[in-house]
Chains A and B, each alone.
Chain A
Amino acid sequence: MNLVLVGRHSLDELQNLAVENFSGIEDKNLVQPDFSEEVCFDKEHSFGKVFKVIPSKNLKTLQLNWVMPSTPSFNSKRSDRYLSHIFGYEGPNSLLSELVKLSMATGLSAGYSRQVHDNLDRLTISLVLTEKGEQNWKDVMEVVYMFINKIRSQTPRQYIYDEIKNKSLIDFDNLTKS
């Protein structure tokens, strides 16, 4: 069992906080599960496939996942943020705006998960479909791929990267003081 405290308090104060808040937790000496031999993404059975789920609630969603080479932990190039920004953007000429125009989706989110497995990252685009989109989900996928091909045909834009970078600096400057 491990605990890390980060703060601007003195060591004694941090120690007191740790004792006060965490000493009641019993150390059961559990062994951490080892998944190193597990196959997280089984190429033969998982890829190029659609997993169809019948939900109990009236849910209409399409989640598209791509597996990518992993990004090293201390990599600050942030290609992952660039991609999730490009696909998650909701303004004019965005993927969502195209789908909304076609009355196929009402919501979209894009996220990049780093190191979901040893050497793999995952990019996910989640769509909230309309009834039309639900009935024509293959057409929705086609629109997504048309958009991907459009992005692929363009050189990545420096000004978009700079925007993301500047927004990140603003976020850091406005962090709540601990």
Chain B
Amino acid sequence: MKIINKNEDLDKILFYPYHYEAMDVEDIKMRLDCMRPDNMFTIYHSQLLQQEKDANPKSFK
């Protein structure tokens, strides 16, 4: 069993989710470039779709 004895070590673990190193401009740009329609899926909830389904039931599985 792993035991953490030092309070400082525990503080480090608790702080980790709040820790920010430095902004990585290239990483942000790369992730923004991923925001393209061919890399996306959309979920649309609407009761208006009922009319579309009534008109063309086969288009809904």
Residues of A within 8 A of B (CB): 6, 8, 11, 46-55, 58-69, 76-83, 123, 129, 134-135, 137, 141, 145, 148, 151-152, 155-156, 158, 161, 164-165, 168-169, 171-172, 175
Contacts and interface: CB of A to CB of B under 8 A. Distances in A.
Contacts of B13: 6
Contacts of B33: 152
B44 A53 contact: yes
16 contacts: A47-B40, A54-B50, A54-B53, A54-B60, A63-B44, A65-B42, A65-B43, A66-B39, A76-B19, A76-B20, A152-B29, A156-B23, A156-B28, A164-B20, A168-B18, A169-B18
Interface residues of B, number: 43
A interface SS class: mixed
B31 interface: yes
Contacts of A49: 41-42
B42 A171 contact: no
Contacts of A82: 23, 28
B8 interface: no
Given A50-B41, A55-B47, 11 more contacts: A54-B46, A54-B60, A62-B44, A66-B36, A77-B24, A79-B31, A80-B31, A134-B46, A164-B20, A168-B18, A172-B14
Nearest to B13: A6
Contact of B20 (A47, A151, A165): A165
Contacts of A51: 41-44
A50 B45 CA distance: 10
Contacts of B30: 69
